[in-house]
Amino acid sequence: MPLVNTKKMFEKAIDGGFAIGAFNVNNMEIIQGIMEAVASEKAPVILQISKGAREYANIRYLKALIDTAVAEYPDIPIAVHCDHGDTVDLCKECVSDGYTSVMIDGSHHSFDENVRLTKAVAEFSHAQDPYVSVEAELGQLGGIEEDVVGADDYEENIEKYLTDPEQAAEFWKASKCDSLAVAIGTSHGAFKFKKEPKLAFNRIEQIMKTCPGLPLVMHGSSSVPKEFVDKVNTFAVIDNSKPELIAAFAKAGVNWEQMPKSMGVPEDQISKACQQYAVCKVNIDTDIRLGLTASILEVWANDNIKVFEWLKAGGKGTQPAFNFDPRKYLGPARKAVKEMVARKLHVLGAAGKAGLCS
């Protein structure tokens, strides 16, 4: 099946009480892990490419990898989406590169300027054949992720940053966007909150009343799983040149707190937003980064522990080899991405829904 835009995906998601997982991609292993998961769970998927990913990987490489995924998994509906496009020109460039969906993020501008930017992107994208869907954002999130910097006082003054329901209706009508990312209490990055957040479901209800049928999008929705954070804190050694630190590390009970106080959006709240409200796209990036990084750190840490144990035994025989074959640590990292994505598909209720969106 060729790449699809998000219109049918979102129609089916709203009707069926589920959401499409929108996963950020940066390299081959991430794309492979995501696609293996959605294929095994028979779920539709949105592969998101940020401005930073374009710069890091070169869009021609990423597009070739995605084209391969389309060929490998012909039964899986796949949309390619520009995440947080910050200019009209970038969005147009993404359309020219074959994206089937683009986001123009004018949320940090005035309301009128946000409308102007979104309308310009919508007019261009909707005129394409095939049609390219457009996502916009109204309201503001907290946290930091790549080039996206949220409000500094977000958690303390969250109410003033939430999406206004009346403005949302006006914005939708004027801008002609196909979906709207709303601020409902989520936040970008791994260090989102000082205490467990509670999503503003009452605000979602109000937006659904003023904007009936409008597909809503949740940004900043990684849950920062504790098992990933624990692995990072256990295996990210500060200084492995000192025997006493290696010894402490080898016990695997020491928490270096490389990621102190990291906290994400609880998965039960994400599920509720998808099942009971009009949230039909959920962005997940931080959790992919965490799963990938935690897995690589674990492989290298276990290699260090083998060397430590060899030294402790008197250093007899051949020293355990250091693992510098990228296949040996990127393979497990890819598996970690697959397992995490498969879990998210059930949180979103998207597992088994591929046939509905084709």
Residues with a catalytic annotation lie at 83
Q: Tell me the C-alpha distance between 4 and 132, whole Å.
A: 9
Q: Is 108 exposed, middle or buried (0-12, 13-18, 19+ CB in 10 A)?
A: middle
Q: Is 268 exposed, middle or buried (0-12, 13-18, 19+ CB in 10 A)?
A: exposed
Q: Tell me the C-alpha distance between 160 and 56, whole Å.
A: 35
What secondary structure does DSSP assign to 263-300, as a single string? B---HHHHHHHHHHSSEEEEEE-HHHHHHHHHHHHHHH
CA angle (78 as vertex; 76, 58 as ends), nearest 5: 130
Task: Mention every residue, 6+ apart, whose C-beta is less than 8 A from residue 328.
Answer: 299
For 12, phi and psi rounded to 5 degrees? Answer: -70, -35
